[in-house]
Chains A and B, each alone.
Chain A
Amino acid sequence: MTRTGLTRRQALGLAGAALTAPILATPARAQAGAHIVVVGGGFGGTAAARAMRRIMPEVAVTLVTDAPTFTTCPFSNLVIGGLRDMSEIRFSYDALHNDGVKVRFDPAVALDPASRTVTLQSGDRLSYDRAIVSPGVDFRYEALPGVGPEVSERLPHAWKAGAQTILLRDQIRSMPQGGTVIIAPPDNPFRCPPGPYERASLIASYLNRHNPTAKIVIVDGKDKFSKQGLFMEGWQALYPGMIDFVPFSEHGGLKGIDADARRIETFFGDFKGDVINLIPPQQAAAIVLDAGLGGSGLWCEIDGLTFEAREAAHVHVIGDAAIVGDMPKSGFAAATQGKACAHAVAALLAGREPQRGILMNTCYSFVGPEYGISVAGVYRSAPDTNRLASLPGAGGTSAAGDLPELRRDEANYARGWYANLTQELFGA
């Protein structure tokens, strides 16, 4: 018996019965001439723009972003580890043009919910009926002791993929034999919670091949991290003794940063590296906070059914800039939210009640090139609060233990995950 009292045979019959009815993807109807402005050409914005055109082809969609190509943060750790080329994680917006999305490489600099306009760097102003805003994060350099944005030219963050990814990769490649790489991740919340630890893993994979006496020290802004047990198990199996994790409680926080000497000072001692990957604390991108959408905080509160900002009507905020209930700040989550947000916006434009559907997140991490692990979650907005809450009986991480076949399978699925995700965002 299944949990609702329906037998498997009956459920199968239903699936068959459904086929006897016409199943057509008829687009919803919107108010004539509606204009949606999508701010940000990353995972959330791209997914939302394409879904919007697919669901409601009569709606005009303009996506505004910085540059003609997008480099994904997911899989950028493989580039740093020498396992992929930059050209394999860089995508154009050609497919969006073909979908009828107007793409402008003229980044948004201001959002005014009162006049429903977005101002671009060029000075152009776009009016919208609804804005879908997915601008990602900004770094809070002011939260680091005695340094500004220029520190990232010496101690790369590589937390926005592109030139920074190459900078960190090349610093590691030119490091002396037996050198030390320091990775300094921030406290929560920040973009891609498992990212620093996948990065440590893939740098270790590179060093194992090219610089086997080198060390990696993680000087963390917190005491625990995502998929910690699985990562540590993998480090022990693949790179015994190479990666040292120093939790916040053992160093007490950053007290000073000497970029020239490549040294970070903490309250309980100093750490000297040959390469320092300094990942600053983060907040919602300025365009969101400047528009007052952060309230008194650093992130945008939203309604989990419609993604509409709590602080402004007709502005929907998705991805890393928003607090999306229990969903993590991941590219995959942002893409999922982008599609769900497009459905909600379509419903609102058509004067319908948005659906309370199920959202999912799956994040794979590589511990080694053929050693994958994952974390998953399933979410639905609560009927009383609209908060996107984790659903019980689902989610969690890969099984722990010595399971080489599972790790190999998950590495393969990680590659498939990336192929399909990027195909949905940027593929024809």
Chain B
Amino acid sequence: MTCPDPDRVHHGVFAIIASVLSSAGIAWAADGPRSVTVEACTTCHGPGGISHGTMPTIAGMDSETLAEVLLAFRDGSLESTVMGRLVGPLSDEDIAGIAAYFAALPGADQ
């Protein structure tokens, strides 16, 4: 791994932080920047992220765990049946935002 340019990393991270925070601030509302994208998750994982079948419930999951799992699907370090074929185009911002969104939803036992 090459050593990243600290300035570039700093600016990239700053931009993503701003983006994720503003997404959260505007409300993962109807008009939040990833409100269309998160709809892609619930078609398989259940309405509101609560599963009624084999797929795991993702609502109420710890955001860091969910982000870590998505990143691992994306880099191939975690094997999957289908997730590895779905997460490739997700950016770091998408993953951070999706994780934050489902973490904030009430889980199955709430």
Interface of A with B (CB < 8 Å)?
1-6, 8, 10-12, 14-19, 21-28, 51, 55-56, 332, 335-336, 339-340, 343, 346-347, 350, 352, 355-360, 362, 374, 376, 378, 380, 391-396, 398, 406, 409-410, 412-413, 415-421, 423-424, 427
Nearest CB in chain B: distance from A99 CB, A:
11
Asked if B101 contacts A23 (CB within 8 A), the reply is yes
Apart from A24-B29, A358-B94, A419-B52: 11 A-B pairs, beta carbons within 8 A = A2-B75, A4-B91, A12-B67, A14-B67, A352-B31, A357-B34, A413-B81, A415-B54, A420-B45, A420-B51, A424-B46
- A410: chain B residues within 8 A (beta carbon): 81-82
The answer, among B17, B47, B86, B94, for a CB contact under 8 Å with A362, is: B86
Contact (A15, B40) CB under 8 Å given A5-B12, A26-B27, A394-B85: no
Q: Which residues 10-51 of B sit at the A interface, judged by CB distance below 8 A?
A: 12-13, 16-17, 20-21, 23-25, 27-31, 33-37, 39-40, 42-47, 51
Asked if A336 contacts B39 (CB within 8 A), the reply is yes
Contact (A416, B51) CB under 8 Å given A18-B100, A359-B40, A395-B85: yes
Most chain A C-beta atoms within 10 Å of own C-beta, residue among B29, B94, B97, B101: B29
Nearest CB in chain B: distance from A2 CB, A:
6
The answer, among B9, B28, B51, B100, for a CB contact under 8 Å with A15, is: B100
Asked if A55 contacts B81 (CB within 8 A), the reply is no
Contact (A358, B36) CB under 8 Å given A27-B29, A346-B30: yes
Contact (A391, B89) CB under 8 Å given A17-B20, A19-B63, A374-B82: yes
How far is A394 from B34 in the complex, measured between Cα atoms in Å? 19
How far is A318 from B12 in the complex, measured between Cα atoms in Å? 37
Asked if B30 contacts A5 (CB within 8 A), the reply is no
Nearest CB in chain B: distance from A349 CB, A:
10
Nearest CB in chain B: distance from A147 CB, A:
38
Asked if A362 contacts B96 (CB within 8 A), the reply is no
Asked if B92 contacts A4 (CB within 8 A), the reply is yes
- B101: chain A residues within 8 A (beta carbon): 23
- A25: chain B residues within 8 A (beta carbon): 27-30
**Whose C-beta in chain B lies nearest to the C-beta of A409?**
B81
How far is A336 from B99 in the complex, measured between Cα atoms in Å? 20
Across chains A and B, the number of contacting residue pairs, with CB separation under 8 Å, is 217
Asked if B53 contacts A18 (CB within 8 A), the reply is no
Nearest CB in chain B: distance from A234 CB, A:
15
- B30: chain A residues within 8 A (beta carbon): 25-28, 55-56, 343, 346-347
- B33: chain A residues within 8 A (beta carbon): 355
**Whose C-beta in chain B lies nearest to the C-beta of A332?**
B43
- B64: chain A residues within 8 A (beta carbon): 12, 15-16
**Whose C-beta in chain B lies nearest to the C-beta of A350?**
B31
Nearest CB in chain A: distance from B34 CB, A:
7
Contact (A413, B16) CB under 8 Å given A12-B64, A346-B30: no
- B59: chain A residues within 8 A (beta carbon): none
**Interface residue total, chain B, C-beta cutoff 8 A:** 64
Asked if A51 contacts B53 (CB within 8 A), the reply is no
Asked if B27 contacts A416 (CB within 8 A), the reply is no
How far is A346 from B4 in the complex, measured between Cα atoms in Å? 42
Asked if A16 contacts B86 (CB within 8 A), the reply is no
Most chain A C-beta atoms within 10 Å of own C-beta, residue among B16, B25, B53: B53
- A360: chain B residues within 8 A (beta carbon): 40, 43, 86
Asked if A23 contacts B39 (CB within 8 A), the reply is no
The answer, among A2, A24, A357, A392, for a CB contact under 8 Å with B71, is: A2
**Whose C-beta in chain A lies nearest to the C-beta of B28?**
A23
Contact (A357, B39) CB under 8 Å given A14-B96, A16-B64, A352-B31: yes
Question: Nearest 10 A-B pairs (CB), nearest first?
Answer: A357-B36, A416-B53, A416-B54, A419-B53, A18-B100, A393-B88, A28-B30, A21-B24, A14-B96, A394-B88
Asked if B92 contacts A14 (CB within 8 A), the reply is yes
Contact (A343, B36) CB under 8 Å given A360-B86, A413-B55: yes
- B31: chain A residues within 8 A (beta carbon): 28, 346-347, 350, 352, 355
Asked if B92 contacts A420 (CB within 8 A), the reply is no
- B103: chain A residues within 8 A (beta carbon): 15, 19
Interface string of B67-109 (1 = CB under 8 A from A): 1100100110000011001111111111111011101100000
Asked if B67 contacts A358 (CB within 8 A), the reply is no
**Whose C-beta in chain A lies nearest to the C-beta of B34?**
A357
- A395: chain B residues within 8 A (beta carbon): 85-86
**Whose C-beta in chain A lies nearest to the C-beta of B20?**
A18
